[in-house]
């Protein structure tokens, strides 16, 4: 690291930001894999988060923002930088049908509040093991709902300044947003818009979605949900058709229950999971001519992707 850890810790103490030298990505991500992290920091307000990131970036320290870690595959190598974990930065203010939500807020917690108020269009949030900040990055969603359907604007640290970015400028698409291309932009809070319904109807919809999800997906396993996507094709159906259910590399396996999920079934390494994802993509390309994109965000794998030379 360009700046030594003690100097960074001193600065974090001055900012009132908690730090930890003993974390690994295996502890911070739902896959349960990934190397040790030189320093992990936990800002608990947008202002502290912005000051932390500005300081780190000014000093050319490598950073990665982490929410619940449910869409991150981090390599087995040690990370010589700082992981900025947002989960301590949480809070929700609801006025009428509008909610201001801090980026580290749990989607499930927000969904409970919406249910109490009878606000609909955000029922899918109850199905994500995520933070709202992480959810906006890949426009997370299910059952026909997604972040694009509720987002009004984002307050973000963009090129060293805290700015409000309108939903249009966030360019939410199928499992993508402007934040995928600009990992140096950090979401601090979101303004979300819902529609009025009743607590009973919202609870019924949430219950239906959760039952459907539990019956179709391996929710108890260690995964990051569906690892691949395509704008117009249901990738998991083709993975199934290619006979890949149960296919294994090391401790990583394509789920028998849902072919879109890769599971850490037996002490997988990050490399096992990475290679399995690449094997699935290669198979889909060879069998169906389908170029599936990686939904899970890769940390520390460099640019050795099998497909990087293909221009989309």
Ligand X SMILES: Cc1cc2nc3c(=O)[nH]c(=O)nc-3n(C[C@H](O)[C@H](O)[C@H](O)COP(=O)(O)OP(=O)(O)OC[C@H]3O[C@@H](n4cnc5c(N)ncnc54)[C@H](O)[C@@H]3O)c2cc1C
Total residues in contact with ligand X, by rule CB under 6 A: 33
Residue nearer to ligand X on the CB measure, 103 or 202: 103
Q: Does 72 bind ligand X (CB under 6 A)?
A: yes
Q: Stretches 17-25, 65-73, 196-204, 265-273: which one binds ligand X (CB under 6 A)?
A: 65-73
Residue nearer to ligand X on the CB measure, 34 or 133: 133
Among 8, 135, 238, 239, binds ligand X (CB under 6 A): 135
Tell me the closest approach of the beta carbon of residue 65 to ligand X, in angstroms: 4
Report H helices in the chain: 5-15, 25-28, 46-58, 107-117, 132-137, 167-170, 178-181, 199-216, 235-241, 270-288
Nearest to 176 by CA among 78, 35, 297, 312: 297
The Cβ-side half-sphere exposure at 276, using a 13 Å CA radius, reads: 30
Contact 111, 122 (CB under 8 A): yes
What does the per-residue mask of binding to ligand X show for 136-165, with x meaning CB under 6 A? -xx-xxx-----------------------
**Taking CB under 6 A as the criterion, which residues in 95-124 touch ligand X?**
103
Beta bridge partners, 47, equal none
Among 52, 63, 90, 223, binds ligand X (CB under 6 A): 223
Q: Does 179 bind ligand X (CB under 6 A)?
A: yes
Tell me the closest approach of the beta carbon of residue 71 to ligand X, in angstroms: 3
Place of tokens 């992990």: 40
For 179-248, the DSSP string reads HHH-TTSEEEEEEEE-EE--HHHHHHHHHHHHHHHHHHS-TTSS--SB-EE-SSS-HHHHHHHTT-TT-E
Tell me the closest approach of the beta carbon of residue 6 to ligand X, in angstroms: 26
Q: Does 64 bind ligand X (CB under 6 A)?
A: yes
Tokens of 122: 């955000």
Taking residue 278's Cβ as centre, other Cβ atoms within 10 Å add up to 16
**Taking CB under 6 A as the criterion, which residues in 239-298 touch ligand X?**
297
Measured between its terminal Cα atoms, the distance across the chain in Å is: 35
Q: Does 206 bind ligand X (CB under 6 A)?
A: no
Tell me the closest approach of the beta carbon of residue 82 to ligand X, in angstroms: 12
Residue nearer to ligand X on the CB measure, 118 or 210: 210
Residue nearer to ligand X on the CB measure, 30 or 283: 30
- Using only C-alpha atoms, the chain has a radius of gyration, in whole angstroms, of 19
Q: Does 24 bind ligand X (CB under 6 A)?
A: no
Burial 69-79 (b: 16+ CB within 10 A, else e): bbbbbbbbbeb
Among 50, 56, 115, 127, binds ligand X (CB under 6 A): 127
Nearest to 153 by CA among 134, 169, 174, 132: 169
Nearest to 23 by CA among 11, 10, 7, 5: 5
Q: Does 236 bind ligand X (CB under 6 A)?
A: no
Q: Does 30 bind ligand X (CB under 6 A)?
A: yes
**Taking CB under 6 A as the criterion, which residues in 81-100 touch ligand X?**
86
Tell me the closest approach of the beta carbon of residue 201 to ligand X, in angstroms: 21
Among 52, 63, 71, 189, binds ligand X (CB under 6 A): 71
Burial 205-220 (b: 16+ CB within 10 A, else e): bbeebeeebeeebbbe
Residues that bind ligand X (CB under 6 A): 30, 64-72, 86, 103, 127-131, 133-135, 137-138, 140-142, 179, 186-187, 219, 223-225, 297
């Amino acid at each position: 690291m360009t700046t030594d850890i003690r100097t960074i810790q001193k600065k974090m103490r001055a900012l009132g930001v908690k730090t930890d030298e003993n974390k690994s990505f295996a502890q911070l991500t739902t896959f349960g894999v990934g190397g040790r992290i030189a320093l992990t920091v936990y800002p608990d307000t947008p202002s502290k988060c912005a000051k932390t990131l500005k300081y780190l970036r000014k000093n050319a320290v490598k950073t990665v923002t982490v929410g619940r870690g449910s869409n991150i595959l981090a390599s087995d190598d040690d990370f010589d930088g700082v992981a900025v974990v947002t989960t301590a930065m949480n809070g929700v203010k609801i006025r009428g049908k509008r909610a201001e939500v801090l980026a580290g807020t749990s989607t499930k917690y927000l969904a409970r509040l919406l249910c109490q108020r009878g606000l609909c269009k955000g029922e899918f949030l109850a199905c994500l093991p995520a933070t709202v900040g992480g959810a906006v990055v890949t426009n997370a969603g299910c059952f026909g709902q997604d972040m694009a359907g509720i987002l009004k604007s984002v307050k973000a640290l963009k090129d060293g300044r805290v700015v409000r970015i309108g939903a249009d400028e966030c360019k939410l698409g199928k499992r993508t947003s402007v934040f995928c291309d600009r990992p140096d932009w950090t979401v601090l809070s979101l303004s979300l818009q819902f529609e009025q319904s009743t607590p009973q109807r919202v609870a019924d919809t949430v219950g239906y979605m959760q039952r459907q999800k539990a019956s179709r997906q391996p929710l108890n396993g260690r995964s990051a949900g569906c690892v691949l996507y395509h704008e117009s094709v249901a990738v998991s159906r083709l993975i199934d058709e290619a006979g890949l259910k149960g296919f294994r590399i090391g401790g990583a396996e394509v789920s028998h229950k849902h072919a879109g999920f890769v599971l850490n079934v037996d002490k997988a390494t990050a490399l096992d999971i990475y290679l399995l994802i690449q094997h699935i993509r290669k198979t889909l390309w060879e069998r169906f001519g389908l170029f599936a994109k990686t939904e899970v965000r890769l940390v520390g794998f460099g640019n050795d992707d099998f497909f990087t030379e293909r221009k989309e």
